[in-house]
Every structure is written in C-alpha cells, then in structure tokens.
Amino acid sequence: MLQALWLSALVVLLDQVSKLAVMATLHDYQVITVWPVFDLTLVYNTGAAFSFLSDAGGWQRWFFILFAALVSLVMVVWLGRLQPNERLTGYGLALIIGGALGNLIDRIWLGKVVDFLQWHWQDWYWPAFNLADSAITLGVILLLADTLFGGRAAGQPDQKSSDRKS
C-alpha cells in the first residue's frame, strides 16, 4: 500500500500552496467572509489542536516537530505492511501522513502552523484550521470506519459471514 503515498504528497502540496496563497493575500487576523457561516482568516497556531500548549514558552515547537516526524514514520511503516485489500486503512494513513507533514513543514520553517479556514455560527466560532488538519480528520474518520465496519466499509465481505459460508 505504499503507493497510497501519492495521496500524502498531494495533501502536502495542496496544503502548502493554499497556505502560501493565504499568507500572500491576507494580513494577520484579516477576515474575509465567504459565506455567512464561513470565513477565511489568517491566524497562526504555536500549539497543537485547538491551540493546546500554544503558550508553553517555545519548547512545544520542538516537541511537535519530533512527534509529527515519529508518528509519520510509524504510519509509513504501517502503510508498507498493509495488504492490497486494506485500501481504506491505507488511504486513511496516507491522509494523516500528508496532514502531519504539511503542518510539520510550517513548524520547521515558521515555528508555527498557518490556519485560515473558520466556521462559525452567530457568536460561536470553531477554531481556525487548514487543509492539513482537514486531511488528518478525514484520515481518522477512514480509520474509524475501517475499525467499526471492517472490510465492509471497503466493499470486502464481512469475516463472520464468510466463515458461515464455509
């Protein structure tokens, strides 16, 4: 399933191009309303999800760089050990790897992650995120679907029903 790494590369490319375009177009914290519930706004996150550890004093940058690199490496090894019929898991892992590497690039070069997508409803705002975060989320959903539904989510027969037929 290492051939699924094309998806990781695509995620990194789209993530980095979108971030460069937003940084070239918007000023920090500038808001452009796209829909009544969706804005583009340039913000930076020195922490992890939902700005976790963003005010930790700087050590978190190196921790998250190391963590993202190690997790990505483990997932590439996992991807390489998958069987061809484990496509759902493979694509889930590839999306997570691409997202992790997209944000890793930001941390290495900028010391923070560029976020610019923001959903909101009236006065309630979801924290800003980026395409890498979206890929990670979709990848986790695919892994959960594969865990919950087994091969059925990928069109594979249910193991229990296969056992009953034999």
pLDDT at 46: 72
pLDDT at 149: 87
What share of the chain has pLDDT > 90, as a percent? 66
Reported as a pLDDT band with limits 50, 70 and 90, residue 155 is low
Whether residue 158 has pLDDT greater than 80: no
What single DSSP character describes residue 3?
G
pLDDT at 111: 87
> What is the C-alpha separation between 21 and 19, in angstroms, rounded?
5
Whether residue 14 has pLDDT greater than 90: yes
C-alpha distances in Å from residue 151, one per residue of 17, 80, 130, 145, 166: 35, 18, 30, 9, 18
Structural domain tally of the chain?
A: 1
Q: Choosing from 133, 146, 158, 163, which is the catalytic residue?
A: 133
Whether residue 50 has pLDDT greater than 80: no
pLDDT at 124: 92
pLDDT at 156: 53
Reported as a pLDDT band with limits 50, 70 and 90, residue 160 is very low
Is residue 154, in this structure, part of any structural domain at all?
no
Q: What one-character-per-residue DSSP string does 35-88 give? A: ETTEEEEEEEESSSGGGTTTTS-SHHHHHHHHHHHHHHHHHHHHHHH--TT-HH
Whether residue 51 has pLDDT greater than 70: no
Query: Is 163 a catalytic site residue?
Result: no
Whether residue 150 has pLDDT greater than 60: yes
Query: Is 123 a catalytic site residue?
Result: no
Is residue 9, in this structure, part of any structural domain at all?
yes
- CA-CA-CA-CA torsion sign (34, 130, 46, 17): negative
Structural Rg of the chain based on CA atoms:
18
Is residue 145, in this structure, part of any structural domain at all?
yes
Mean pLDDT, range 58-81, rounded to an integer: 86
Instruction: Report pLDDT digits (tens) over 89-148.
Output: 999 999 999 999 999 999 999 988 999 999 999 889 888 999 999 999 999 999 999 999
Q: Choosing from 15, 39, 106, 115, which is the catalytic residue?
A: 115
Is residue 96, in this structure, part of any structural domain at all?
yes
Is residue 55, in this structure, part of any structural domain at all?
yes
Is residue 155, in this structure, part of any structural domain at all?
no
Which residues constitute the domain of residue 7?
A: 2-24+44-149
Is residue 114, in this structure, part of any structural domain at all?
yes
